[in-house]
Amino acid sequence: MGTGAVAARPRPRLPVIGRLTRGLAMPVGSVLFAFVLGAIIVALTGASPLAAYQGLLCGGIGVGCTEGENSALQISNSIVYMIPLVMTGVAVALPFRAGLFNIGAEGQLLAGTMAATAIGVHFASWPAVVLLPAVLIGGAIAGAFWAGIAGVLKATTGAHEVVTTIMLNYTAQWLLRFLIIGGPLQPPGVFSASAPVGPNARLPTFFPNDSSVIVFGLPATVYRVHSGLIIALVAAAVFAVLLWRTSLGYEIRALGQSQKAARYAGVSVRRTIIVTMLIAGAFAGLAGAVQIAGVDHQMTDKYFSDTTGFDAIAVALLGLGSAVGIVLASLLFGALHSGGAVMQSDAGISSNLVLVLQALILFSIAANFLGAILRQIPGIGRTRPSAPAPTAPAAALVTEAAAPPEEASS
Amino acid sequence: MTAINDILHLLVTANLWQSVLALSTLLLLPALGGVVSERSGVVNIAMEGMMLVGAFFAVYADLHFHSPWIATLVAMLAGGLMALIHAVVSIRFRADQIVSGIAINIFAAGLTVFLIGRLYGLQDVGHISQNESLPNIVVPGLNSIPFVGQVLFNQNIVVYIALVLLVSTHVVLFHTRLGLRIRSVGEHPQAADTAGINVFMLRYGAVVASGLVSGLAGAYLAIGISNTFVPNMTDGRGYIALAAMIFGKWTPFGAFIACLIFGLGEAIYYNNSFIHTSQYLLSALPYILTLVVIAGLVGRSIPPAADGLPYVPGSE
């Protein structure tokens, strides 16, 4: 095929649709790849992949249920799981754009839950109009503080944020254990849980808090889906505006492309690193506060093994670091989480299969297996532009993240 | 004041130092793996996952074959296989090595619990009987030396193996041609390639080696210490090993010293009957300590120059 023929050929599709399909090809392909490999793993252990995925589908979106599960309830559960994923997803994606790898969303989320619980319990008598914002903002500030430690260390000493945030995760986990096991947030006579936050510190649910009201065939109180969804969607929108419509967003993106170039463009590298981490931590802390105010209302031992902040890494990567992508990816992982429980009870397959799938998705995105496979196929490989890198600053991430910013030495 | 006296008293008991060395070994093995892998230029934060998979398969194989030796071999192979995935994804497919490492860790956590469900149903995994676990070796004669005898010559066999590996890793890395090649691949792969060194081969080897020793550490944890498997039993040790590696500035003996410090913290925690601070706050100590160290109070750690960079032949 000569070049003339290519140039003369009319564009087959609208450019927007073309861009959309190309943008979706990699994430959708990665998910499919993970599901195929996951099915093989399930089959190898002698279980039925069909039964497993039917359970996931039922628990995720209420389709194909065999045990008479209520579809509306499954969707409600999926959204409940999705809400913190959106905010922590943003907390990972924003630093990504600056070439920083925030593995600490989990610790920042826990910092948010601790602050939110403390405020919600101690000032329970305040009116909701004051207390609820205090709980949410308190959580965000705590998260920002936790991430800020990593940001300041990175900016001043060049300490790698991957290592510092891992350490901060564990520190937060142990601090949380201390607080509710023998610590100041443990009420007398209760083990491994805090007191519940006051009624004024709680986010309203979408359905009335009245068990005599029947919604979709079940009492309204079983639906836990809450107004934190709105906060999460607003957070995603704020992220998009911040990144693309503000000068800070420009600085963050410049930093992610090249620290050196950003510095020549007049961007203060140290300041941007710290501010980016602070904002990211605030999103993750907010996620923790929303979990307390929206669903859990108290800290329990389930937070010891919480993985939201790690799932957020997969969310940010699968969502290609864009706001819409993060929301869609959160929806997927929320549905997988919710589906895992149904799969376990219906098909008898551990809900931990969801973690395996998540890891496979991560491998697939990071390695761009599909791109590599497609490149092997002549014809497709030539006409198809190579898929874009999963995250724009990936190169900057590995090269420059390892070294302290040069400003530090001056 | 009594608390301080109690600590001082504890610090001079041989019991304490015996468990310091045992607990440090759990960290030393993956830390050595990390040193070798990162010296060759592949960032490895996956020791946690490789250890966990090693621990699971050690127990599975021991229950199946009733031999701790076969079990240890299986554990090392399992760890090595996980490392091979990390190697293929990050060397062949040039994936982001941190993402790949996280994926390994998530994969390990999910896979082990998934397999428990498939293999053992709702029951416990089951216990390893004492005579099928990795044995303690008492060195006759030497073990009667006061203090030193108990600390150094009455340990699990894996402790001795780890100490031999510590010395041999140091010797290989810094005093042999192979070590020079591994380091050159981690510092400047282009130059190494030009000099006729097979960059890919050395990196694959180094990463897989890190999986083998992490698997060994998992076996030690599961069938040498705990004699069973529980979900997520590595409990962040792979990450502390990572910290120890950085703490030790990517050198075997530096990492060992860091492991001893972390091991001391853990041993005091286990032998603690008198410090009236929450055990949970004490547990956070190694992590806070690492933060302080990384913050530069003990000098800056600089990773190998090409650490984390996929090698593309012909690139500048």
Q: What is the pLDDT of residues A264-317, one digit of tens each?
A: 888 899 999 999 999 999 999 999 999 999 999 999 988 988 889 989 999 998
Q: Angle, to 10 degrees, between the axis of helix B199-219 and the axis of helix B14-39?
A: 160
Supply the ipTM of this predicted assembly.
Answer: 0.89
Chain B residue with CA closest to A156: the answer is: B295
Six token digits for residue A353 = 């299969």
Section B297-302 average pLDDT: 58
A387 in B contact zone (CB under 8 Å): no
B38 in A contact zone (CB under 8 Å): no
Chain A, residues 50-89, CB within 8 A of chain B, namely none
CB-nearest to A182 from B89, B242, B278 is B278
B195 in A contact zone (CB under 8 Å): no
Are the beta carbons of B238 and B51 closer than 8 angstroms? yes
* A106 chain-B contacts, CB cut-off 8 A: none
Query: Across all residues in chain A, what is the average pLDDT?
Result: 85
User: What integer pLDDT is reported at residue A5 of this predicted model?
Assistant: 44
Six token digits for residue A295 = 């669903």
User: What integer pLDDT is reported at residue A401 of this predicted model?
Assistant: 38
Those residues whose C-beta lies under 8 Å from the C-beta of residue A105, and which sit 6 or more positions away, are A88, A91, A92, A280, A284, A287, A308, A309, A310, A312, A313
In a domain, A9, yes or no: no
Interface test with B, best of A106, A114, A352 (most B CBs within 10 A): A352
Are the Cβ atoms of B281 and A178 closer than 8 angstroms?
yes
Are the Cβ atoms of B118 and A46 closer than 8 angstroms?
yes
Query: Across all residues in chain B, what is the average pLDDT?
Result: 88
Six token digits for residue A395 = 């190169």
User: What integer pLDDT is reported at residue A357 of this predicted model?
Assistant: 93
Chain B residue with CA closest to A164: the answer is: B291
Question: How far is B195 from B189, CA to CA, in rounded Å?
Answer: 10
Total tally of structural domains belonging to chain A: 1
A310 in B contact zone (CB under 8 Å): yes
* A166 chain-B contacts, CB cut-off 8 A: 45, 239, 242-243
Give A285→chain B minimum CA distance, Å: 20
A392 in B contact zone (CB under 8 Å): no
Are the Cβ atoms of B93 and A369 closer than 8 angstroms?
yes
Q: What is the pLDDT of residues B261-293, one digit of tens each?
A: 888 878 877 776 655 567 788 778 878 887 887
Question: How far is B251 from B264, CA to CA, in rounded Å?
Answer: 20
Chain A, residues 201-260, CB within 8 A of chain B, namely none
Q: Please report, for the domain that includes residue A153, its CATH number.
A: 1.10.3470
Point out the least confidently predicted range of A202-216, A236-250, A302-316, B180-194: A202-216
Q: What are phi and psi of B137, to 5 degrees?
A: -115, 120
Nearest to B14 by CA among B146, B140, B157: B146
What residue numbers bound the domain in which A249 lies?
A: 16-409
Are the Cβ atoms of B291 and A168 closer than 8 angstroms?
yes
* B115 chain-A contacts, CB cut-off 8 A: 45
* CA A4 to chain centroid: 46
Are the beta carbons of A205 and A226 closer than 8 angstroms? yes
The DSSP-derived string for A329-351 is: HHHHHHHHHHHHHHHHHHH---T
Fold for B2-297, please state it.
Answer: ABC transporter involved in vitamin B12 uptake, BtuC (1.10.3470)
A45 in B contact zone (CB under 8 Å): yes
Are the beta carbons of A355 and A308 closer than 8 angstroms? no
Is residue A278 left, alpha or beta, with left meaning phi > 0 and alpha meaning psi from -120 to 50? alpha
* B290 chain-A contacts, CB cut-off 8 A: 163, 167
The domain spans of chain B are 2-297
Those residues whose C-beta lies under 8 Å from the C-beta of residue A87, and which sit 6 or more positions away, are A231, A232, A235, A283, A284, A286, A287, A290
Are the beta carbons of A200 and A128 closer than 8 angstroms? yes
User: What integer pLDDT is reported at residue B167 of this predicted model?
Assistant: 97
Q: What is the pLDDT of residues B222-269, one digit of tens each?
A: 999 999 999 889 988 998 898 888 888 899 999 999 899 888 878 877
Query: CA of A250: how far to CAs of A241, A244, A256, A394, B248, in Å?
Result: 11, 7, 10, 17, 38
Are the beta carbons of B233 and B220 closer than 8 angstroms? no
Q: Is the pLDDT of residue A2 over 70?
A: no
User: What integer pLDDT is reported at residue A6 of this predicted model?
Assistant: 45
